[in-house]
């Protein structure tokens, strides 16, 4: 398996774990959306919290030019840490939700 295919599989495995999350409030489920052709991978939260509709992106990860770009991370602990634990090197992960000027001060790739 080449590196890109390995990254795709790791992302899918890590994001799939979020489907198992049970929310303490409301009737909310997480759904995964995997677009392998465009290399976009999302976890979307959908449901109801009392009378309020819940629909939003919890996690959005892209593969751009061979690097993992975390575009949205709504988790408490940081999805980047899960990706590193699963075998993706920090220098291959870009925190896209951080301002470009700030990325150099993280432990992750600049771009």
Q: Is the pLDDT of residue 1 over 80?
A: no
- For residue 67, the model assigns a pLDDT of 97
pLDDT tens per residue across span 2-48: 999 999 999 999 999 999 888 888 899 999 999 999 999 999 999 99
What distance in Å separates the CA atoms of residue 78 and residue 107, rounded to the nearest whole number?
Answer: 13
Could you tell me the pTM of the whole model?
0.92
CB atoms inside a 10 Å sphere around CB 9: 13
- For residue 64, the model assigns a pLDDT of 97
Task: Give me the phi and psi of 24, to 5 degrees please.
Answer: -75, -15
Closest by CA to 73, choosing from 29, 11, 10, 23, is: 11
pLDDT tens per residue across span 48-100: 999 999 999 999 999 999 999 999 999 999 999 999 999 999 999 999 999 99
Mean pLDDT, the chain, integer: 95
């Amino acid at each position: 398996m080449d590196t890109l295919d390995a990254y795709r599989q790791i992302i899918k495995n890590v994001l799939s774990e979020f489907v198992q999350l049970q929310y303490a409030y409301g009737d909310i489920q997480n759904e995964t959306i995997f677009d392998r052709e465009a290399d976009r991978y999302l976890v979307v939260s959908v449901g109801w919290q009392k009378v309020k509709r819940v629909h939003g992106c919890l996690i959005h990860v892209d593969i751009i030019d061979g690097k993992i770009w975390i575009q949205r991370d709504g988790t408490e602990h940081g999805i980047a840490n899960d990706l590193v634990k699963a075998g993706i090197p920090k220098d291959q992960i870009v925190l896209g939700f951080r301002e470009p000027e700030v990325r150099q001060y993280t432990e992750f790739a600049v771009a």
